[in-house]
Chain A
């Protein structure tokens, strides 16, 4: 067996700045805690050189010029960890999630694909770099030694079999994570390294520190019987970015989307998956001038006709959607979540005309939706129910099989429906319409058929009822007639013309 341990040093800091490459080169610190006890929890080397340390207060840190301060974000850390997990799963499905900053892979058998352990480790490191994560790697024949090697590595550390104890002898005891009592005892004894602990007499050690002491000694000797427990929780494909200053214009947001989409697609392709649905969540700054939004969280969902890993397409669709549905306030934070699906392979028929490319079609539909409205583009689908509007718009899918409706023996006549219905004034005689004032013109009713009564949804507040009439209206002139469907709303008493017959 061969195991590789991936360790992300200064994980909190790396997670906070994963999408801010520019800031990484500057001194920065990550703070956490409720004010006034907000303290530095992570910082980079440049900040340390300037005199910052972990635990100092935020106000103390801010005194120093040039320091970039970031709030600690659990969301960013979770995204970073998920990204790392996705990346590692691309190498081996046997991957155990030890901690937020530590993963262990079983890389036995990868030699035929990637070469020697060093080559394997380099591939892993390079892949992690694509995700903006800088990792240390340890490779050993047992899990614990691999973990210790990674923590010690400052790069890549390969422990050949049988030489674990020798190569780890100078490793500090803190890497073993002993309990404070045992750590204190060992320090009092002057034991500070793996090698020193390994050399202690076993019997005496067990008498003084018990089984826990023996276990630590075994680890210090590079021995371990631990078994890998692969992580089985379902992957979450989500990327997060927060801004110091909220972003108002959509072009700037496009850059952010692009970056996040790249990361998402990278992670998905590592698992041979694609984006089936994209969920966008924007946290808005309602306090900004000119903000018109009333809710702090703005969400949009893009459902794709075909799963895709085309970043350009995804970006375009996001942009079109946001143009049609503006957030209404500057954006303080972006969360992009992808619902993963298996990519679909579509086999077109030999004699079936080629349809439009799904991606281009989707963009066209998105443009149309931006113009006419979200629920006004698609295919009409009849709803089985007694409803005022007995149809809904569903996603346009070219080439989909038509649903067969019931065959009515009554000949069907086309109507052109007015949306909304046109209010009219009606004069009646013996209950039937006699004159109708429609679009400012008085019409005599030549013929009336009805009333045809419909009502429904009585169990909801939207209950409705109407008496419909089919009217032949005289438009003046010898052969000028208009055939309309009018109705009287039984709830309000108002008359409307709903449609004109062809």
Chain B
């Protein structure tokens, strides 16, 4: 029999449920459940991932939330959670607005609740269930018996309408629950309301009941022993197949049928968010694209007008034209204007700003003054930044001086677009081995010493050698791995990895919206005062077409800004970083001698040891230098071959002739992310979508595992192309390096620009530069000036 689970919670209920959305989707698919309604606590945190996971498995994912409500009469004493499902886009928008409203006024994180008036105000387009253990009907029955329960359901009918209230029945093989179910059925019959069977899912499989109990103990700051009846009484709150549910509700088949009927009603899907970028106000008679074109043309004159390289200006003009045509086609002119406006504000306020990342591949961005790297001169690939095939939004990162200046820029965005029009993206903190071992050790009642031993055995660095397993850390901590309690401890720690722990604020990701952002995704206050954060992280925003840009604080930008000020003050000179003489011999001489203390990105020991060998002589040498001391090239063993080839001690060879155009600029050794992508595309004929999958694997968590998962696909494609096994091995080895971090070329170029600027100022204005570095240290109590 068909059955749809319409009341499930994921681990994005943050310590309220035990399974990630992907696991829920997989188990739904295994058990033949065609659709699932995800109702996390007070938010839609997990809905994007649920949608993506369900879509990939051919399932439907409905959106909703369990909304905390304080009863009108009993207030917080009768707080319960109303399960709400979004039937239409209006319903979804109302849900987001409702959650935003009470979240933004909460005094303590996670303690906010709506009141019944607000529930009424935002009820349109929502379907309300009477809930499970923490729902309004159970709370009312506990408080005042059958009569109180009936009154509560009548009130729900008044709020949402008789067609939008379903009396929910859950059967977890519990006597008290079944007694309440009897009352619920009676109320439903009396009020002519449909019954709805759900399983109140908080974990995908019975085994995860253990994780659920652990999370409950963590949430209550107690041990498993001390959590008492707050723990699960059995393991029944898992996903059940239609057959199991039909058997369980054999006496009430209508409750099962109604799940399908309601599922058919729920039209809203997360892809229909209705997000729109703000419309930039342009002068009368202009459109956004015409305004953008004119600003770009002005910038093109400014940037390329004085350049003497043969044909450069014309090539730049053609490139800009191509980019603007694509921008117009994709209707992204508003996005570029928003960023341009922000850069303009920074310039007016004398705040140093520089775009980086894939934006540095765009000639339009260079002309608008967003970036300082000339992509035409450097022959960077625009499609890395913006591609019609990829169907992805562009991503511009702005580096600003760290500290107050950056905060001014962020507050400018909040002011310009309104409290509900701009917000920062979230960052989901997940359990890692250290945090999991610490918290699980406590709930198991282990001594502080034991917990500390295990926790300190874990390396603080993200990179781990193959022998650094959880089991190995336990052994190092002196735990007996044959002891039953230790075995359970180890098992729980391994299973808790990557489960969401809490929501925090991303360091600089910002999104803006035309109209109200709180109708697209709920907003909540960040821990920092004056900041608002959306409930989704940057990947979720990207998946659903919400454009973001990063506003990041860079210590070196603060140093450069301070240096320019000191130069102005001390020497009476005005230095424009964009107009520094390129390829200053003295600067490169210092770099080649590794006289680079204080210089951006090349003052580490690893960098300083390589500089006298690589001997950068020009800007592109610096670009390559930025990229070599990174986990990817190190893990992939690219660094030494590159250095040997620079020194002429190794011949420049290529794994396959097809790779020469891709790797020639780096002497046959891949140093940049794009090169690896291109290698995969050329050698394994990856489609745009597959290349996109590989690209996404690069920056994500568990990137190594994801890249490894693609290996069989890559090999089969290369075999089909007749590539020799030995060469395939080498190609796979190259591609796997991208599982560890590698710089995009444009990113390296942006950083190289900062490196050159800092090296130049250091060389020619040593006193000002040194004073600026010291002034920017966190421990600096007095400000140095030049006399």
Write the residues of chain A forming the contact surface with B, with a CB cutoff of 8 angstroms.
Answer: 383-386, 406-410, 450-456, 458-459, 461, 465, 467
The interface-forming segment of B223-231, B301-309, B352-360, B615-623 is B223-231
User: How far, in Å, is B250 (CB) from chain A's closest CB?
Assistant: 11
Known: A385-B228, A452-B173, A456-B233. A409 touches B179 (CB 8 A): yes
Among A385, A450, A467, point to the contact of B229 (Cβ < 8 A).
A385
CA distance A454 to B145 in the complex (A): 25
Residue of A nearest to B175 (CB): A452
Chain B's closest residue to A470 (CB) is: B175
Q: Which residue of B lies closest to A408 (CB)?
A: B176
A459/B173 in contact, CB under 8 A: no
When the two chains form their complex, are residues B228 and A455 in contact, meaning their CB atoms are under 8 A apart?
no
Most B C-beta atoms less than 10 A away, residue of A384, A409, A454: A409
Q: Digit string of B182-198 for contact with A (CB within 8 Å is 1, else 0)? A: 01000000000000000
Q: Which residues of B contact A461 (CB under 8 A)?
A: 484
* Selected contact of B145 from candidates A409, A458, A459, A467, CB within 8 Å: A409
A383 CB contacts on chain B under 8 angstroms? 228
Judged by DSSP, the binding face of B is helix
State how many angstroms separate the Cβ of A388 from the closest Cβ of chain B. Answer: 12
Given A408-B176, A459-B224, A454 contacting B233 (CB threshold 8 A): yes
Tally of chain B residues near chain A (CB < 8 A): 29
B231 and A456 contacting across the interface, CB-CB below 8 Å: yes
Chain B residues with CB under 8 A of A386: 229, 231-233
- Contact across chains for B229 and A384 when beta carbons are under 8 A apart: yes
When distances are taken between beta carbons in the complex, the residues of chain A under 8 Å from B485 are 459
**Contact mask for chain B residues 218-246; partner A; CB cutoff 8 A; 1 contact, 0 none:** 00000011001101111110000000000
- Give Cα distance in the complex from A455 to B231, angstroms: 11
Cα–Cα distance between A467 and B231 once the two chains are bound (Å): 18
List B residues 410-454 near A (Cβ within 8 Å). Answer: 444
> Least Cβ distance of B423 to chain A in Å?
41
Which residues of B are at the interface with A, using a C-beta cutoff of 8 A? 141-142, 145-146, 172-176, 179-180, 183, 209-210, 213, 224-225, 228-229, 231-236, 444, 484-485, 488
A458/B233 in contact, CB under 8 A: no
Sample (22) of A-B pairs whose CB atoms are under 8 Å apart: A386-B229, A386-B232, A409-B141, A409-B142, A409-B146, A409-B179, A451-B173, A453-B173, A453-B234, A454-B234, A455-B233, A455-B234, A455-B235, A456-B231, A456-B233, A458-B210, A458-B213, A459-B213, A459-B444, A461-B484, A465-B234, A467-B173
Q: Which one of B172, B173, B176, B236 lies within 8 Å of A410 (CB-CB)? A: B176
Q: CA A451 – CA B178 in complex, angstroms?
A: 11
CA distance A385 to B176 in the complex (A): 16
| Contacting residues, chain A, for B183 (C-beta < 8 A) | 409
Answer whether A452 and B179 are a contact pair too, CB < 8 Å, given A384-B228, A385-B228. Answer: no
Which of chain B's residues have a CB closer than 8 A to the CB of A452? 173-175
* 6 shortest interchain CB distances as A-B pairs: A384-B228, A453-B173, A453-B234, A410-B179, A385-B228, A409-B145
Which residues of the other chain, B, contact A384 by a CB distance below 8 angstroms? 228-229
CA gap between A80 and B108 in the complex, in Å: 60
Task: Look across to chain B and name the residue whose beta carbon is closest to the beta carbon of A406.
Answer: B142
What are the residues of chain B within 8 A of A451 when measuring CB–CB? 173
A407 to B148, CA, bound (A): 15
Taking CB atoms, residues of chain A closer than 8 Å to B145 are 409
Instruction: Give the residue among A385, A451, A465 with the most B Cβ atoms within 10 A.
Output: A385
Supplied contacts A455-B233, A459-B224, 17 more A-B pairs, CB within 8 Å = A384-B228, A385-B231, A386-B229, A408-B142, A408-B176, A409-B146, A450-B173, A452-B173, A453-B172, A453-B174, A454-B234, A455-B234, A456-B231, A458-B209, A458-B210, A459-B444, A459-B485
Residues on the B chain within 8 Å of A465, using CB: 234
- What residues of chain B lie closer than 8 Å to A455, measured between beta carbons? 233-235
Q: Quick one: closest A residue to B233, CB to CB?
A: A386
Find the A residue at minimum CB distance from B172. A453
The docked-state distance in angstroms from the alpha carbon of A16 to that of B219 is 59
Least distance between A458 CB and chain B CB atoms (Å): 6
In angstroms, Cα B176 to Cα A15, docked, is 67
Say yes or no: B175 contacts A410, CB within 8 Å: yes
Q: How far, in angstroms, from A407 to B232 measured CA to CA in the complex?
A: 20
Report the separation of the CA atoms of residues A459 and B142 in the bound assembly, to the nearest whole angstrom.
31
A429 to chain B, nearest CB (A): 15
Closest beta carbon of chain B to A87's beta carbon, Å: 42
Greatest chain A CB density within 10 A among B173, B225, B235 is at: B173
For residue A81, give the distance in angstroms from its CB to the closest CB of chain B: 36
Identify the closest chain A residue to B209 (Cβ): A458
CB distance from A454 to the nearest CB of B (A): 6
In the complex, what residues of B have CB within 8 A of residue A410's CB? 175-176, 179
* Chain B residues within 8 Å of A456, by CB: 231, 233
Q: Report the bound CA distance from A384 to B141 in whole Å.
A: 21
* Chain A residues in 8 Å Cβ range of B236: 453
A76 → B minimal CB distance (Å): 37
A294 vs chain B, min Cβ distance (A): 26
Nearest residue, chain A, Cβ from B206:
A455
- How far is it, in angstroms, between the C-alpha of A455 and the C-alpha of B210 when the chains are bound? 11
A406 partner residues in chain B, CB cutoff 8 A: 142
A459 to B172, CA, bound (A): 21
Q: CA–CA, A453 to B145, complex, Å?
A: 25
The docked-state distance in angstroms from the alpha carbon of A408 to that of B142 is: 7
A409 to B182: give the CA distance in the assembly, Å: 12
Chain A: minimal CB distance from B629 (Å): 46
Check B233–A459 contact: CB distance below 8 A. no
Most buried by B among A384, A406, A451: A384
Which residues of the other chain, A, contact B235 by a CB distance below 8 angstroms? 455
CA A465 to CA B444, docked complex, whole Å: 20
Q: Which residues of the other chain, A, contact B176 by a CB distance below 8 angstroms?
A: 408, 410
| A461 and B487 alpha carbons, distance in the complex (Å) | 12
- Shortest distance from the beta carbon of B683 to any chain A beta carbon, whole Å: 50
Assembly CA distance A465 to B229 (angstroms): 15
From A431, which residue of chain B is reached at the shortest CB distance? Answer: B247
CB neighbours (8 Å) of B233 from chain A are 386, 454-456
Closest to B445 in A: A459
Closest residue on chain B to residue A467 by CB atoms: B173
Q: Which residues on A sit within 8 Å (CB–CB) of B234?
A: 453-455, 465
**Which chain B residue shows the least CB distance to A490?**
B234
Least CB distance from A207 to B in Å reads 60
Select from chain A the residue with minimum beta-carbon distance to B247.
A431
**Chain B residues positioned under 8 Å from A450 (CB to CB):** 173
In the bound complex, what is the Cα–Cα distance between A410 and B146 (angstroms)?
Answer: 11
